[in-house]
Structure 1
């Protein structure tokens, strides 16, 4: 008898929520939606966040907060087993995963990567409405507006290049570029041919060095090499730290990112 029911028991065990998650609530599959979700609703409504938010190099949440929450690796099987009320995924979600969510009858909200402050605010509004958290969404957008109002400058912009990591630099049609423009910088990545985030070797900077380079990791080997090459070329470039936690996402990150950019801009002569 036990042999007969063992396969059934194993099947049921495989359908239990993964990563310590609980059924119902919201599952978020991206570190940026993780952060936005927790800015809008209490943790009790979160069934699981992405495993990326529990990694120091990828999270936009305090690690102590992220590691107290259940997580998934983002597989359709894990998410479906949690039977969430809502899934927050990205516009890059593979078609097969989308189909699996649809067949399981899951309510899913696919979020894109906003490229402007206005688009990020709209995303806040959309998610807040989906969560029944309109007041919190409006409050977050007011904080974003207040940050934008206090950093805006009217003088000539300073050319600055923002490296995401290694040789990966920010381009001209991104949210970070919008934040830089508002804070009094001109995105030098666009000057050097980057329309979006892309690879920019140090050799590309020698013909037209920016006034400022923003880096998340001043101690990295690539940053050290870039520094030596620019020094030998006699380029006058100021390198300033821009924390990695301010690079990845919009929404709740925007006020802190704007404040950091404004501080750097005040320290840089035009």
Structure 2
């Protein structure tokens, strides 16, 4: 990301993801409660929607209202959606740009030499990292108390969550045979509820492909799939319904809960634990 033209907002409190770029131009400061917030990617959308007032939000990404992609899609309805255009951002003259991370935005990279406050959040692949992102965003949008309250709610939902997985092996299997490996949000969710990630057991990277034949040979106890693939909708999802896989019990989770490290983590963990508990009950 070119930082000379987009200087990050000065840190509002120690240890946040608010960055300061080295430049002779004084860094831009976001107001205490910004009124023209622009989110530049899907993961940032969800945090902004969860923590800012609607009246503060001047722009979200085009996927913000997609229920299959965003856990906050309902809140995004009626708000301005941007088409990854630098011109649109310039027209808004935002007093805070939020990215998770900002480097993924082509629109941000294309902006000319302007000075806008930037909240650049790290990708969150663990619960602690999600909590950090929530705190940073809450401070950035001017409502730190909302961040504390949201974290407290999530902690309450996760408190005492059982680990019904009993160290059974599961594979997060996606369209076209993609499998999610270690060091990812899904991997952390599996561990939290007592499952062993097949990808880690096989020494696979964070994202790999496994054929149907290889999956059958690996004999996982569970397949974790996106709920959008519960029915065959395209060639990519068709392979997940191959007869060779029909006897492997399935855990179905909305992609919107796992595509980003977001407040939806608690719902994903609870749903997965409940489904496993039911399936384990059938085994006994």
- For the superposition of Structure 1 and Structure 2, which TM-score range results when normalised by the shorter chain? 0.7 to 0.9
1:195 to 200, 205, 214: 205
Question: Which residue does the alignment assign to 2:255?
Answer: 244
Question: Which residue does the alignment assign to 2:156?
Answer: 146
Distance verdict in 2 for CA 1:42–1:237, change over 3 Å:
same
Q: Over the residues paired in the alignment, what is the CA RMSD in angstroms?
A: 2.6
Instruction: Tell me how far 1:253 sits from its aligned partner.
Output: 0.7
CA contact (8 A) 1:143 1:255 kept: no
1:36 to 47, 50, 57: 47
Question: Which residue does the alignment assign to 1:118?
Answer: 128
Distance in 2 (CA, whole Å) between partners of 1:267 and 1:38 is 33
CA contact (8 A) 1:47 1:84 kept: yes
CA contact (8 A) 1:214 1:239 kept: yes
Distance in 1 (CA, whole Å) between partners of 2:102 and 2:219 is 34
Local SS of the residue matching 1:268? helix
1:22-57, CA deviations, whole angstroms, 9 ceiling, x for partnerless residues? x95100011221111111111111001100113344
Distance in 1 (CA, whole Å) between partners of 2:199 and 2:112 is 40
TM-score by length of 1: 0.80
Q: Which has the higher helix share?
A: 1
Question: Which residue does the alignment assign to 1:52?
Answer: 63
Distance verdict in 2 for CA 1:96–1:219, change over 3 Å:
closer
Distance verdict in 2 for CA 1:116–1:260, change over 3 Å:
same
Equivalent positions of 1:55-74 (< 5 A) are 55-63=66-74, 65-74=75-84
CA contact (8 A) 2:84 2:105 kept: no
Q: Which runs of 5+ in 1 are unaligned?
A: 1-22
Distance verdict in 2 for CA 1:82–1:24, change over 3 Å:
farther
TM-score by length of 2: 0.76
Local SS of the residue matching 2:159? helix
Q: Is 1:156 matched with 2:170?
A: no
When the two structures are aligned, how many residues end up with a matched partner? 244
Which is worse superposed, 134-143 or 215-224? 215-224
